[in-house]
Amino acid sequence: MFDSLTIVGVGLISGSFSLGLKDRGLVKHVIGVSRTPASLEKALELGLIDEALPLEEAVKKSDLIYVAIPVDVTVPMVRKIMDMIGDGQIVADAGSTKQALCDSLADHPMRKNFVATHPMWGTEYSGPEAAVRNAFAGRACVICGKEDSDPAAVAKIEHIYRLLGMHMVYMNASDHDMHAAYISHISHITSFALANTVLEKEKEESAIFELAGGGFESTVRLAKSNPSMWLPIFMQNREHVLDVLNEHISQLRKFKSCLEKENYEYLQELMENANKIKKILR
């Protein structure tokens, strides 16, 4: 489908995206762009990319430019790339926030060549070594502001993601950021906070980690995530994250109050109500 793909950032998402396209014969040549030479060397070694080039050279040679870097640097990077492209080239991103990026491109003359996407998949790991095959299968991919992009460009991006095993979800950037705060961003904050709670207590009771089982490991797994990626997400999505945090804290206070007042009947109701999530997440 594409003669040449450039991935800006050669980490978990972009590396997995490249492997998916290569494995399915959807791209002939993949170029890597990164500010970290060691990452480019590792990406070449792992076969995520076929060559490494400076941004301007890479963009000139590419049909599709896929940006997967921290969201704070995504905005200026995508604008820079949009200033370089011509007709027929497509730019897409994989960022976890969308409002700031879409707003920044609203008046760009090449806006229709950009497709705002968020493949809803990730792990706590980062870097080229974290890339895996068949990463996106069975997951959702959000496309934001579809009406602002060229229909042919959207169709090509949709086709790629579907061949990677994803199903499409469409929404505007603001709604995306709100929903992401509830189903992704709060999970990471909770995990970071729980890890800090246990690390603080572990100073007194070293046996805590010896007793840690699967439940603790799965709950705190996200605390291993790269802070340099998540801090910009929390900053860009501050209002929505604060909203969901307030609700989360309110729920925690209900559990705390039940225990303080020995109101175990209401505590049971809270847990039974939480069980309703099984109807949504099977």
Sign of CA dihedral 272, 278, 279, 281: positive
For residue 25, count other CB atoms closer than 10 A to its CB. Answer: 9
Mean residue pLDDT across the chain: 95
CATH 3.40.50.720 domain extents, the chain = 2-171
What pairing do the DSSP bridges indicate for beta strands 114-119 and 140-144? antiparallel
pLDDT at 209: 67
**Cα–Cα distance measured from residue 232 to residue 236, given in angstroms and rounded to the nearest whole number:** 6
The token pair that represents 278 in the structure block: 């099984």
Looking at residues 38-54, what average pLDDT do you find?
98
The token pair that represents 205 in the structure block: 């009771």
pLDDT at 206: 65
Chain-centroid distance of CA 176 in Å reads: 12
pLDDT at 168: 98
Per the CB < 8 A criterion, the answer to whether 59 and 84 are in contact is: yes
Q: Roughly what angle, to the nearest 10 degrees, separates helices 186-202 and 238-260?
A: 50
- Residues paired with 121 in a beta bridge: none
Q: How confident is the model at residue 1 (pLDDT cuts 50, 70, 90)?
A: confident
| H or E, element range at 189 | helix 186-202
- Look at the block and give the residue holding tokens 């080239």: 89
Q: Which fold has domain 176-279?
A: 6-phosphogluconate dehydrogenase C-terminal fold (1.10.3660)
Going from the C-alpha of 117 to that of each of 51, 85, 122, 181, 204, the distances in angstroms are 25, 19, 14, 16, 45
Question: For the domain 2-171, what is the CATH superfamily, name and number?
Answer: NAD(P)-binding Rossmann-like Domain (3.40.50.720)
Q: Out of 22-26, 51-55, 88-92, 276-280, which region has the weakest mean confidence (pLDDT)?
A: 276-280
Looking at residues 179-198, what average pLDDT do you find?
94
Q: Mind listing the pLDDT tens digit for each residue in 196-233?
A: 988 887 776 666 667 766 777 888 899 999 999 999 99
Looking at residues 74-97, what average pLDDT do you find?
98
Which string of DSSP letters, residue by residue, matches 198-253? HHHHHTT-THHHHH--HHHHHHHGGGGS-HHHHHHHHHHTHHHHHHHHHHHHHHHH
Q: How confident is the model at residue 77 (pLDDT cuts 50, 70, 90)?
A: very high
Polymer length of the chain:
282
What type of residue is 195? A
- Residues paired with 104 in a beta bridge: none
CATH 1.10.3660.10 domain extents, the chain = 176-279
Q: Mind listing the pLDDT tens digit for each residue in 102-129?
A: 999 999 999 999 999 999 999 999 999 9
Per the CB < 8 A criterion, the answer to whether 67 and 74 are in contact is: yes
pLDDT at 205: 67
